[in-house]
Structure 1
Amino acid sequence: MTALDRRSFLGRGLATAGGVLASGIAIETLGTHASWAEAGRPAFDPRQVGYGPLSRRAAENTGEELLALPAGFSYVVLGKTGTPMSDGVPTPIAHDGMAAFPGTRRHTARLIRNHEVRTTPGSPIGRVHVEGSRRYDELGVGGTTTLEVDLRSGEVLQHFVSLNGTIVNCAGGRMLGHRGWLTCEETTAGPVQGWGRKHGYIYEVPLDGPRPGRPAPSQPLKAMGRFSHEAVAVDPRTGYVYETEDDSGKPDGFYRFRPKDPRNLSAGGVLEMLKIKGKDNYDCREGQKMGARLPVEWVTIDSPDPDVEGGAQTCTQQGLAKGGAKFNRLEGCWYGDGSIFFNSTSGGDAKNGDAPNADGYLEGYGQVWRHIPNRRDGGTLVLVYESPGRKVLDSPDNLTFTPRGGIVLCEDDASDADADPHPLAPGLTNVNRLIGLDPRRGQPFEFAVNIADESEFAGACFSPDGSTLFVNQLGNTAALDPPGRTYAIRGPWQRGPL
C-alpha cells in the first residue's frame, strides 16, 4: 500500500487531496455497480472477481471456525463477550458500530465500539457498567468499550468501558476533528418502559480521557434530537452533523444538525429534516431511478426533545408534517468527497417478502444514497445504488470506503420470509456477509461470511495504516449466547480491489 493510499483512508485526511481521490474512486465504484446490476449480470463468479473463492477458516488465536474468507487472509478474535477487560468488567454483549483511530503507541490502533444491549432496565446480563461512574441513567445497560490493539500481533493491550448509563447503542460516527466517537441510541424508551430517564439521544465518547475504571460521563446532546438514532457523519467543512433514523415498520427521516459551535455540540443548534424541494412527503423508498438528482430543502424540527410520553409529536412526525421525505430503515452513514453517503437497509423495488409496514410499504433489499451539500441551497440527493435481489446484496447496514477506493457493505439480513442459506454455513437460515465492490468493474463479491451464527456484521473499519480490517459480529442483543465478537482481518489486500 502506498503512502497516498494510507493518507486517503485516514479519517483526518478526508478533506485532503488523498481523501477526495479515494472517495471519488468509491463513488465511481457505486455508479459502475449500479450499471452492472441493471444489466442483469449473474450475482457472483468467485473465479473472476474479488479475492477468489472463500473457504471456512479458523481464528488464529482461538482455533474456532467462525468466518469464511478468501485464500491468504487470516483473522484473530478480539473482545469476545464475557472475556475480562482491563477494568475487570466482563466484555459486554451486542457488538455494533465502531471506528478505528490512531493508537497511543506506534503500530497500534484504538477502537471505540458500541454495544446495542437490549436487556431489561438494570439487568446484569452482558451489561456495560462501571460501578460509581458518572452515568446518565443508573439503570442503563448499554454504552461503549475502547480497545487498544497491536496491529502486528493482534494482541489487545487495553480494553475497558469508555461510556455507560445509556441503552441500545447501535451506531454513530466520528466527532469533528476525529477527537472521538458520537454514539447513538436506537430507541425512544424511557420511564414508561421502566428506565430511569428518557432515551433516544446522541452522546460524546472522547478519544482521550476515558481509561480503565473511569468512563467518560454520559451526557445526552438533546438538541440533536430524540428519536431512534442509527448513525451520524460530520461534514468537516461546516461542522454539520448528519443523522440517520431507524424506526422499524415506520417511515424514517434523514436529519442534519447545525450546531452553534461545531466543536461544542452541547451548546445547541438547529435540527432539520431533509425534504425534496417542492414535493411534500416524497417517497424515497421505492420507484426511484439511480443517478437522478433530486433538489433538497430542509424543514426545522421545532421540538427536538419532544415529550412523546405526554402526547407530543415525535421528531419524525414533526418533519413529515412539514413535508419531509420518507425513507425506510436508514442505517450506515459516512462522509467523503464532500458528500454524505447513507444506507436504506430495506429500501428498493425488489421486495424481500416481509409483512408490510404500518403504512403499507413493502420492504426491499436495500439502497445507497448520496447527499451533496451546497452552501447556496439545500443541496442534492442522488440514489447511487439499489440492490436487485438478495444474492447480490441483502440489507446493507454499515458501509465503509477502503484505502484503495473499494467499498465494503455489512449485511443485516433480518428478513422473516426470504431464507438466505449459504453452502459454507450449513444449518443457518439467514446468513450475513461482507460484500465488497470492485472499483474497476463495479461487480459485487463475497469477502467474508459469518459461519458462526445468524447475527449481522457491523462496525467495519480499517486501521489507520490500512493493514487491518476490523469488523464486529453482533451476537445476541439480550443474552450471552451467541456472543459478540470483534475480528481483526489481515491479508494480501494489494492482490484485489479492497
Structure 2
Amino acid sequence: MSETRPSDSPSATRRQVLARTGALGAGIAFTGAISELFAGTAAAHGKAGYGPLVPDPDGLLDLPKGFRYKVLSREGDELRSGEGKVPSNHDGMAAFRGRNGGVHLVRNHENRVTAKLAVPTVEGLTYDPQGKGGCTALALDGRNNVLDERVAIAGTAVNCAGGPSLWGTWLTCEETEDKAGTNGYTKDHGFIFEVDAVDPRRTGAVPLTAMGRFQHEAVAIDPRNGTVYETEDAFEKPFGLFYRFLPEKPLGGVGSLQAGGKLQAMRVPGVADLSKIQETGASFDGIEWVDVPDPLAAQTPIRHQDFGPKGITHAQKLEGCYWGGRSVYFVSSYAKSAEGSAADHYGQIWRYDPSEGRLTLVIVFGPDSDLQLPGEEPDNICLAPGGGLMVCEDGEGAQHVYGLTRRGEVYAMARGRQNIGTPEEPEWGEFAGVTFSPDGDTMYMNCYKPGTTFAVTGPWHD
C-alpha cells in the first residue's frame, strides 16, 4: 500500500502534477481480453457507469447521482466494545452474511511499529503484544447501522490484504517478514491468520505456519479442491513469487488450515520475471509448481532460496488475488526497471487455469501515450454483483474506485475528498478493501488514511 511505494518515482511525480493542475482524468487505459475476467458473473448491460461524480458538500466522498454513503467507522473513534480506539490504516476487507439481512465486516489494519493507533491488545486474541496490526470486526443490521465493533485479532503486523475462506472466515495476511527481535517484535511475523468475524475467539491468534512466512498480500481459494493461491508483495529484488498451498485437510472448515500442507511456488518455464511479458493474450503451458525448500524462512527469505538450476519466476508488486469461474486471477500492480524489474509496466492482471496448467496475461493497464488516463497501479479488486470489476487504483494524486464492465468500459465510481496534505500540496488517501454485501445492494470500502469505512448504496441494478 502507500507506505511501501517510493515517493520519487517518475509515475508519482507525473500524477501529482496532473492532480494539482486539474488535468487528471477519470479513465483507465488498458489492453486485453476483458471478458475473461468475469467468468461466473452476470453480464453487464446498458451504458457504462452511473454518470459523472457529484462533488460531496461534506468533503468526504464523491459519488454518481442517486448514490449515497454512510460512514461506518473512523480511526480514533471509540470501538463499541469499549476495547479502545478504532485503529489506523484501514486496508483489505470482506463482507459476510449475518442474521436478518445483516452483514459482518472484517477489516485489516496495515499497521507498522510507527502506526498512530495500534489495534488494541485483547487477551486471547493477541499474537505478539508488540505488533500493532490486526483486524477489527463490525456487525451491521440490514440498514447498515453499526451494532457492534470490536477487535478480531491483535498483535500481528502490517495486515495488508487477504481473502475470504470458503466457510465464512477471513484470512488476513501480514505483509512483512520481520523476525523476533526486529523492530521490537517478540515473535516472527509474515504469516496468514484465520479470523472469524462473528466469534473471533473461535479462531484466536494462531499463525498458519505451513502456508509460508513471507510478505503476504492476498489469497484466493479454488472452491473445487481447496487449493489456496497466495501473492507476495516483496519490496526489493528479488521480487515476490506466486504460490499455491495444498492443505492436508482441504475444504475442512474453520481451523482446518492449521493441519498443515505443502507450499509450492510457480515456475513459468523460460520466464524468470513476469514483467518481461508485455503482450496481452500471451499464454504459457506446462506451468510447474516447485516445493518451497523452507516455508518458515528460518534463515533465508523464500524468494532468495534455492529452487534448483531452473530457478523460479518472480514479479514485482504482486497484490490482488481472486477466484473467478475456473481460474485464479492475480495482479501485478506495477513493474519498474529502475527498481530492478526486467521491464516496465503500469499494472497487469494474470489468469491461471489449474485444469489446463496454463498462465495467460489478460490485462495490461497504463496511460500509454495519453497522460489524461491514470490507469496505473491496480490494487484491491473485487467482482461486482452486476457483472464487472471494482478496482482500487493505488497511485498518487486523486484517488478513485473505478468500475470495469465486461465490455471493457471504464467508469469512475468514487473519488476521495479527504485532503491529508495541504491546500497548496493536496494529497488523498488511497482506497482499499472494496467488497460487496452478500445481497449485492451495498458496496463497502475503506479510505486507507485517514482510516474511514464507507457503505455505499444506490441504484446498482439500474
Shorter-chain TM band: 0.7 to 0.9
Match of 1:183 in 2: 172
Offset, 1:302: 1.4
Counterpart secondary structure, 1:223? helix
- Name the Cα RMSD after superposition: 2.4
2:387 to 405, 426, 436: 405
Offset, 1:134: 4.2
1:90 to 82, 85, 98: 85
Match of 1:135 in 2: 126
1:120-199 to 2 correspondences below 5 Å: 120=114, 125-152=116-143, 154-178=144-168, 180-190=169-179, 191-199=181-189
2:440 to 466, 471, 491: 466
User: Distance between the aligned counterparts of 1:27 and 1:319, measured in 2?
Assistant: 44
CA contact (8 A) 1:25 1:406 kept: no
Aligned length: 406
Match of 1:39 in 2: none
Q: TM-score w.r.t. structure 2 length? A: 0.83
Runs of at least 5 residues in structure 1 that lack an aligned partner in the other structure: 1-19, 30-46, 59-63, 348-353, 415-429, 476-482
User: Distance between the aligned counterparts of 1:319 and 1:52, measured in 2?
Assistant: 52
Counterpart secondary structure, 2:304? helix
CA contact (8 A) 1:244 1:331 kept: yes
C-alpha offsets along residues 174-212 of structure 1, whole Å, 9 cap, x if unaligned?
11323x0000000011213321111000001024422xx
Shift of the 293–363 alpha-carbon distance from structure 1 to 2, 3 Å rule, reads closer
Q: TM-score w.r.t. structure 1 length? A: 0.77
2:399 maps to amino acid: N
Offset, 1:76: 0.8
2:175 maps to amino acid: E
Shift of the 319–116 alpha-carbon distance from structure 1 to 2, 3 Å rule, reads farther
C-alpha offsets along residues 223-262 of structure 1, whole Å, 9 cap, x if unaligned?
1111100000111111111000101233211000111112
Offset, 1:216: 4.6
Match of 2:322 in 1: 334
CA contact (8 A) 1:140 1:165 kept: yes
2:108 maps to amino acid: N
User: Distance between the aligned counterparts of 2:307 and 2:280, measured in 1?
Assistant: 24
1:189 maps to amino acid: D
Match of 1:350 in 2: none
Match of 1:443 in 2: 409
Counterpart secondary structure, 2:149? strand
User: Distance between the aligned counterparts of 1:216 and 1:241, measured in 2?
Assistant: 18
User: Distance between the aligned counterparts of 2:241 and 2:224, measured in 1?
Assistant: 23
C-alpha offsets along residues 120-169 of structure 1, whole Å, 9 cap, x if unaligned?
4xx7x3111234334221111110011111232x3101110011110110
1:259 maps to amino acid: P
User: Distance between the aligned counterparts of 1:459 and 1:302, measured in 2?
Assistant: 32
C-alpha offsets along residues 33-69 of structure 1, whole Å, 9 cap, x if unaligned?
xxxxxxxxxxxxxx963111112125xxxxx321111
Match of 2:19 in 1: none
Determine whether 1:235 maps to 2:222.
yes
Q: % of aligned pairs identical? A: 41
Offset, 1:287: 3.3
Match of 1:249 in 2: 236
Determine whether 1:373 maps to 2:354.
yes
Match of 1:452 in 2: 418
Shift of the 363–117 alpha-carbon distance from structure 1 to 2, 3 Å rule, reads farther
Offset, 1:294: 0.9
2:127 maps to amino acid: Y
Runs of at least 5 residues in structure 2 that lack an aligned partner in the other structure: 1-34, 420-427
User: Distance between the aligned counterparts of 2:386 and 2:159, measured in 1?
Assistant: 30
User: Distance between the aligned counterparts of 1:285 and 1:361, measured in 2?
Assistant: 6
CA contact (8 A) 1:164 1:215 kept: no
Determine whether 1:50 maps to 2:49.
yes
